Chain A
Amino acid sequence: MPRLSLTMKEGTVVQWFKKEGETVKKGDLVVEVLSEKVTYDVEAPASGVLRKIFVEEGTDIGVAEPLGIIAAPDELIEVAEAPEERVIASPAAKRLARQHDIDLTQVKGTGPKGRIVKEDVQKFLQEQVMPQLREVIPLTGIRKTAAERVAISAREAPHSTITMEVDMANAAKLREKLKVSYTDILVKAVAKALTEHPIMNSTLDEDEIRIFAAVNIGVAVATDKGLIVPVIPNADEKPIEEIAQMLEKLVDKAQRGTLSKEELTGGTFTITNLGMYGVDVFTPIINPPETAILGVGRVAERPTVSKGEIVAKPIMKLSLSFDHRVVDGAPAARFLQTMKAILEEASSILH
């Protein structure tokens, strides 16, 4: 298993391109592997026959562990068979397991030296009252990373979410004129707002709030393998057209799973957009170790009151989740006010 990034500890075998017994040439793509963030096709390091596959598709394995053996067709290879894992269980536990048709490999032993005792099987039986399962999906790759990260964020950062309505009439005009998306406009608007509210562009590290110099905006992209967040570095310094071009490429690469490590790291603030699904307001979870995340709702025509008249306007709702350890409600609200002002006076995005 190759190391695809400095922090990678394990990877998932996604797909074997060759079968056991198939001839391979040096440089042939043999197997596709997936780290936390990127997929990678492993080339054959030498010509020969793929004699042995150690790691099945969908299985995780540590970095530097062997995936398989390529050798000459007649070369003697010694493959140490993993010793069959013997289940240590007391006779009483085994008897109970037999009675209830329980697979003891599924039961955790708590007796001396990890022996499964009767009580363990009884506990297992009680847990079995759960509904029947249709399938079990192993938590691997992107899903596993996401699970760990949102759990850390939800556990460590006290979340607070505030929302605000924005009149998107001018932004809509700008979108037509520049042929950009609302997301492009939002990336630029957020970058500008962050330069005015640097506290939102920060991270909490033990007893220090560290404010980032650069404004690097992550954009959450839903892919069939899970959520992935490519980053637009220095978004505050880039014209919106450049942001639009970059974002288009990044989203495309995200869908194909070919984002590089550089394209996935360094974010200081994240935007997540559920507007295309008809969502107005939600409570996003901060992308750790950042301080805040902006949730974007749909743009929809709504009745508004202006000078005593009911007028239909394209309205969007923003949902800002922030780490309450770093900022209180008022500065977070002021950040949203700035966002609203920038978006409603959309031409300011151009400079």
Chain B
Amino acid sequence: MRKVSYRDALREALQEEMAKDSSVFIIGEDVGRYWQGAFKVTKGLAKKFGDERVRDTPISESAIIGVAVGAAITGMRPVAEIMFGDLSTLAMDQIANQAAKLRYMFGGQIKVPLVIRMPFGAGVNVAAHHSQSLEAWFTHVPGLKVAVPSTPYDAKGLLKAAIRDDNPVMFFEHKLLYPIEGPLPEEEYTVPLGLADIKKQGKDVTIVATLYMVHKALAAAEELSKQGVDVEVIDPRTLVPLDKKTITESVKKTGRIVIVTEDCKTGGVSAEMAAMVAEEALDYLDAPIKRVAEPDTPIPFSPSLEQFVLPDEERIIKAVEEII
């Protein structure tokens, strides 16, 4: 199978859906023909589909999302981009109070088929305003779906499914994932929202990881296999809806779970998954649930301090060893 980068896989998804459905359009800062996306995901799309369908906007996140919500409820399928997910704060009313609630409050008479793509995450030395992992905020708002792809295959399949979904989908793209390459089929496919993927089979410990942490978890699993510990790595792929079954089935098999996410520990995505496992599979746990997450701190600008706060293989291995 051909190898394609995460960035290019996303672009393929956009291109295929735009070609298939004329109501699909892109809107965001610097996504158009002049800059072609801060991370080059929309490269070439304006040239191909025209400036009407790949719209550059002023620097106003509330305007981008406000316009996109309006377009969505009037029959379009916008794919909005917030250049840095951190700045979703500026569009929070449009996301949490409008996009998430309109379908419900209008008794189902309208739909909100909106995708909000957000490059985010730490590790590239861009300090506290441009490095956060804010998935948990959006999982807490009923009406929003939250996609967290870790591989090119999942990125393409999930983005296509998100564009076709009639509800708003928050689409998280970790900055460090863009250059990562992976196999991508020639033929068309989608990845359904709400279906986890077992990235590595194992029988001793379950590691649930998301986004960039999936790759850290797989590296840790390989290291642990040298010590004779057989790790199963599960990627939920979407946080809302969460594939509880795949996670709990794995816990029933291994009896042990380590949850690895890049976001802050308190009230984080890992907290929700830990609570879910405690509620639904407690009697199968043979050790306390472990979480590896960022300490409750803004991401430091200093590269060495940034590396210090981010979860890594060493911390994952230590967490596993503590419950084996």
Contacts and interface: CB of A to CB of B under 8 A. Distances in A.
A117 B285 CA distance: 9
Contacts of A92: 255, 283-286
B323 A91 contact: no
Contacts of A111: 286-287
B283 A112 contact: no
Contacts of A115: 287
A118 B255 contact: yes
Interface of A is mostly: helix
Contacts of A95: 283-284
Contacts of B284: 91-92, 95
A90 B322 contact: no
A117 B282 CA distance: 13
A94 B287 contact: no
A95 B282 CA distance: 9
Contacts of B323: 112
A91 B287 CA distance: 8
Contact of B282 (A91, A93, A112): A91
Contacts of A119: 286
B41 to A, nearest CB: 44
Interface string B254-270: 01000000000000000
Interface residues of B, number: 9
A112 B284 CA distance: 17
Range, interface on chain A? 10 to 19
Interface string A183-210: 0000000000000000000000000000
Interface string A58-99: 000000000000000000000000000000001111110000
Contacts, number: 30
A119 B286 CA distance: 9
A104 to B, nearest CB: 14
A309 B171 CA distance: 113
A117 to B, nearest CB: 5
Nearest to B321: A112
A118 B286 contact: yes
B230 to A, nearest CB: 15
A143 B284 CA distance: 43
| Of listed A92, A94, A112, residue having the most chain B CB within 10 A | A92
Interface in B265-317: 282-287
A115 B283 CA distance: 15
A117 B286 contact: yes
B318 to A, nearest CB: 12
A93 B322 contact: no
Contacts of B322: 112
Interface string A107-149: 0000110010111000000000000000000000000000000
A12 B284 CA distance: 43
Q: By CB atoms of chain A within 10 A, which of B284, B286, B287 has the most?
A: B286
Contacts of B286: 90-93, 111, 117-119
A93 B287 CA distance: 9
A92 B289 CA distance: 12
A292 to B, nearest CB: 52
Nearest to B322: A112
Nearest to B288: A90
Nearest to A89: B286
A93 B286 CA distance: 7
Contacts of A117: 255, 286-287
Contacts of A91: 282-286
A95 B287 CA distance: 13
B289 to A, nearest CB: 10
B323 to A, nearest CB: 7
A148 B287 CA distance: 38
A119 B255 CA distance: 11
Contacts of B255: 90, 92, 117-118
A92 B286 CA distance: 5
B131 to A, nearest CB: 34
Contacts of B287: 90, 111-112, 115, 117
A94 B255 CA distance: 12
Contacts of A93: 286
Interface in A140-184: none
Nearest to B282: A91
B6 to A, nearest CB: 37
Given A92-B284, A112-B323, A118-B255, 18 more contacts: A90-B255, A90-B285, A90-B286, A90-B287, A91-B283, A91-B284, A92-B283, A93-B286, A95-B283, A95-B284, A111-B286, A111-B287, A112-B322, A115-B287, A117-B255, A117-B286, A117-B287, A119-B286
Interface of B: 255, 282-287, 322-323
Interface of A: 90-95, 111-112, 115, 117-119
Closest 5 A-B residue pairs measured CB to CB? A92-B286, A95-B283, A90-B286, A118-B286, A91-B285
12 contacts: A90-B285, A90-B287, A91-B282, A91-B284, A91-B285, A91-B286, A92-B284, A95-B283, A95-B284, A111-B287, A112-B323, A117-B286
